[in-house]
Amino acid sequence: MSNSHPAFELVTSAEIESLGVRVEEYRHIKTGAQHLHIAADNPENVFLVALRTVPQDSTGVAHILEHTALCGSEKYPVRDPFFTMIRRSLNTFMNAFTSSDWTAYPFASQNRKDFNNLLDVYLDAVFFSRLDPLDFAQEGHRLEFAEMDNPDSELVYKGVVYNEMKGAMSSVGSQLWQTLSKYLFPSTTYHYNSGGDPADIPKLTYEQLVDFYRSHYHPSNAIFMTFGDIPAAEHQAVFEEKALHKFEPLQETISVGREDHYLAPLRVEEHYPLNEESLEKKTHIVLGWLLGDVTNLEDVLTAHLISGVLLDNSASPLMKLLETTDLGTAPSPLVGLDDSQRELVFVCGIEGSERDRADELEKQILAVLEEVAEKGLPYEQVAASLHQLELHQREITGDGYPYGLQLILTALTGATHRGDAIGLLNIDPTLEKLREQIKDPRFIADKVRQLLVENQHRVRLVLTPDNKLAERREAEEKARLAAIKAGLDENEKQRIVQTARALQERQQQEDDISILPKVGVEDIPSQLPEVEGEEVSLSDRKLTRYSTGTNGLVYQQLICALPEFSEEEKQLLPYYCQILCEVGLGNKDYLEVQQWQTRVAGALHGYTSSRTAIDNLQQLSGHFVLSGKALARNQAALTELMQATVEEARFDELPRIKELLLQTLARRDQSVVGNGHALAMAAASAGYNRAAYESHASGGLLGLRQLKTLVRDIDREQALENLAATLRDIHNKILKAQRQFLLIGEGDRLQDFSRALAPLAAAPALAAADPNAPFDPRQTRELWIANSQVNFCAKAYATVPFTHPDAAPLAVLGGFLRNGFLHRAIREQGGAYGGGASHDSNIGVFRFYSYRDPRMAGTLKDFDASLQWLAEEPHKEEQVEEAILGVVGALDKPGSPAGEAKKAFHSALYGRTHQVRQEFRRRVTEVRLEDLKRVADTYLSPDRASTAVVTGQAGRAEGLDLGLTEEKL
């Protein structure tokens, strides 16, 4: 019997026991719109509407449309309903994405009133967007004079997406993927950059944008997806009333065709910009294959299994080659299987190479594949990779994206290509079939031969660096703009000036946002959700355990109080954590250990955490954590593995240690342009206290510079031996440190799980480090030069710890300044992809930031101007309420069941108990406008600020002119 609304018909449904959900697929009778509902006993309801978008150029039309569609609609004709709703909501997630073949608008909320508000706004934004030409100019691209009212000044390109993609395409990984896709997909939409290539974005016209909207943003081309405890029929009633009844069926069917596969492999070479003097060992060499249709579940899981057995760990045959070959320094960031497009893509390769090594690398890769195709692989190795697939399917995630959204995105690929979306969620039957198939020793061998060895649709890409390319591209852009300017008559020049003025006026106008729905402080639940654990004794050690629904998984951690370390040991501690679970144990070498881990664990890794005291920023304590997870049936084996890792770790595999450091350096180097705002904030904060400094020195730009020095010197005589000896010293101290344990699992198994942990409860000998080590505070003004086409700016101010009464208004102040001033000044007017402010009470620092920003001096001035705006302009208490909602929404945001338990435990470990966090939350809800003005006046005097900017070579001169000190990576 169908539970659908009369306008919909049930197509199919399935119970998925391994996920604890029921999936129902419906079709809108009139338009053919698809609705996939994942019914779950979960109050965090998720909505997503996706449109199949298949651009045929690199102008970024789908991406720019995603931005522009959220700038006002028929029912809500305000300038910025999306960002306005973010601050009038208790949402747990709100965003919009442009993928290579779909555009999606998702949100999530635990509050039913809030969910309905957002649903109303989203439906109107997607299906009845205004698409104002000025919004297109702001979000996409526009021509503007450098001095806005002076037609004699230089002509420049501006636009949020234009600058966003300049930042995105600064990433070598993005350039590598886009270039490979161009050749892997010669004729379909994936040939193009769906986000937009900065060189092509200015070619897009407003009329083309509108035409694309009319042909793609239609219910017949839409996929509605929902998750949670709201019934499908209730959602459908809203869809029908608010949107669907107004449409007739779309005659055109939008889809992605299949590629005509190559008859012979293709070998290509291209270049990427790298602003470094030495280009030695900076070439990327990758091989990519198309493997077949993504809508066939059996083919997808088989491809994942093949990818797993070849690349899962360092003992996997292909990964072993990529990690140990002397042709490069590390495996490529693209290594693995991509299943997000119409056809599966398998990629492997290396970075840190030279162009003349491509032939030899290709020969080595094909030799490995041929050997696997000839001899197969041991059953145990294949079964271990299949075990990883099962564990991935069973785990209830949700600590990044909401769990329901992750399930929705898993199913979206199948739905986009009109395949079996439910099947992509219900993989148990196919896993069972694979368990039988891998018993045949020829199964893997034959699949590797079919999918890779004999597959002629293969592209070898050699991407080499060019330290003049960015300069040439900039010169080309300037010449293009100069030519445009030279061809303008006076009327056309005035039109550019008038458009800039009109946009500025539009950005400054005050809309009547009262027409938008909202929740208020009165809708906030009175209590912060609490996760309760119990403390028991485990061989005289403390064990904290949590009973929660983990769907057949167990999570356990060994937590050691950090002892006293030397400065050299502190510097190496992050690399010790990364290396610990990657080396040999006892009489097993690292290859054997990697296979052991794959057989029994879903993950095993070490890390350190540290926090200041809740009432004293000069007191800092820290812990080392060895964290593991496994299927419940493997818990005893996981404990045995963890015990061996702690007691038998070997640091004598010197080539392995060097290999791991090179890989770590490669990953961190590439992450700078994607994480530049956080790195800039860490650099700006580093002078205020030891906690802030250690964050910068371990995970920040200072840590990256130290890692580069470490790797550069590693081949000197005895350097590697000395490093290994220091790692061993660190390990011996950790081994003797004070211990306790965390255990998370399903209640009926906790007793058994607890007993299995007993072998890890060794007697400690070392005391914890002194939490009161001295630190000399200082102001900083730093300019960090990276391989970036855009800027990341930050200013930081010293403030107060977590329990200080001013911590709550400082937290609210961040949202208040972002909502009322920074978003408009930095994003809309300045053209940055993002900007804002926040308070980090763990280090007692208030930070301003910008992300993928074309400006530097102007943005730093805007940070100060926001404080002047706060002090001098009139404000409403409603603006304070909106900022409060943002803080409370972040505090209340749910994670996965296991993630919530970990959060509760580690918060309490540093004194941030549920009661302490509840009190902070209560203070947040009581903040008033005068509190914001008071704390800004008390702590945020511009002369006390520290500043850091991450930029590229093009921004160096401006940064030095601002008095910043150059810091090289």
Q: What is the CATH number of the domain that holds 690?
A: 3.30.830.10
The angle at the Cα of 234, spanning 897 to 33, to the nearest 5 degrees, equals: 100
Domain assignment present for residue 687? The answer is yes
Question: Tens digit of pLDDT for each residue in 521-536?
Answer: 899 888 888 889 999 8
Domain assignment present for residue 904? The answer is no
The secondary element (H helix, E strand) that includes residue 685 is helix 676-685
β-pairing, 336-338 vs 343-353, is antiparallel
Question: Tens digit of pLDDT for each residue in 317-340?
Answer: 999 999 999 999 999 999 999 999
| pLDDT higher than threshold 70 for residue 767 | yes
pTM: 0.90
Domain assignment present for residue 545? The answer is yes
What is the domain count for the chain?
1
Of residues 746, 844, 760, the one with CA closest to residue 804:
844
Structural domain range at position 568: 534-760
Q: How many Å apart are CA 168 and CA 141, to the nearest integer?
A: 16
Domain assignment present for residue 721? The answer is yes
Question: Tens digit of pLDDT for each residue in 474-507?
Answer: 899 999 999 999 999 999 999 999 999 999 998 8
State the average pLDDT for the chain: 93
Per-residue exposure over 858-872, b if at least 16 CB sit within 10 Å of its own CB, e if not? bbbebbeebbebbee
Q: Give me the pLDDT at residue 893, please.
A: 86
Q: How many Å apart are CA 22 and CA 572, to the nearest integer?
A: 48
Q: Give me the pLDDT at residue 2, please.
A: 54
Which pLDDT band holds residue 550 (cuts at 50, 70, 90)?
A: confident
Of residues 875, 877, 897, 895, the one with CA closest to residue 885:
877
Is there a contact between 174 and 58 (Cβ–Cβ < 8 Å)? no
Which pLDDT band holds residue 546 (cuts at 50, 70, 90)?
A: very high
The secondary element (H helix, E strand) that includes residue 13 is strand 8-16
Q: Give me the pLDDT at residue 584, please.
A: 97
Q: Give me the pLDDT at residue 540, please.
A: 81
Domain assignment present for residue 499? The answer is no
β-pairing, 142-145 vs 21-28, is unpaired
Domain assignment present for residue 654? The answer is yes
Of residues 796, 805, 780, 795, the one with CA closest to residue 935:
805
Residue partners of 286: CB distance under 8 A and separation at least 6 = 176, 180, 332, 334, 347, 348, 349, 350, 460, 461, 463
β-pairing, 266-273 vs 458-466, is parallel
Residue partners of 651: CB distance under 8 A and separation at least 6 = 579, 583, 657, 724, 725, 727, 728, 731
Compute φ and ψ for 351, nearest 5 degrees: -125, 175
- pLDDT over 70, % of the chain: 99
Question: Tens digit of pLDDT for each residue in 884-895?
Answer: 999 999 898 888
Q: What is the DSSP string of 468-493?
A: THHHHHHHHHHHHHHHHHHT--HHHH
Question: Tens digit of pLDDT for each residue in 865-910?
Answer: 999 999 999 999 899 999 999 999 989 888 888 899 999 999 999 9
Question: Tens digit of pLDDT for each residue in 146-196?
Answer: 998 899 999 999 999 998 888 887 788 889 999 999 999 999 999 999 999
Domain assignment present for residue 544? The answer is yes
Q: How many Å apart are CA 495 and CA 561, to the nearest integer?
A: 66
Question: Tens digit of pLDDT for each residue in 345-382?
Answer: 999 999 999 999 999 999 999 999 999 999 999 999 99
Q: Give me the pLDDT at residue 1, please.
A: 42
Domain assignment present for residue 693? The answer is yes
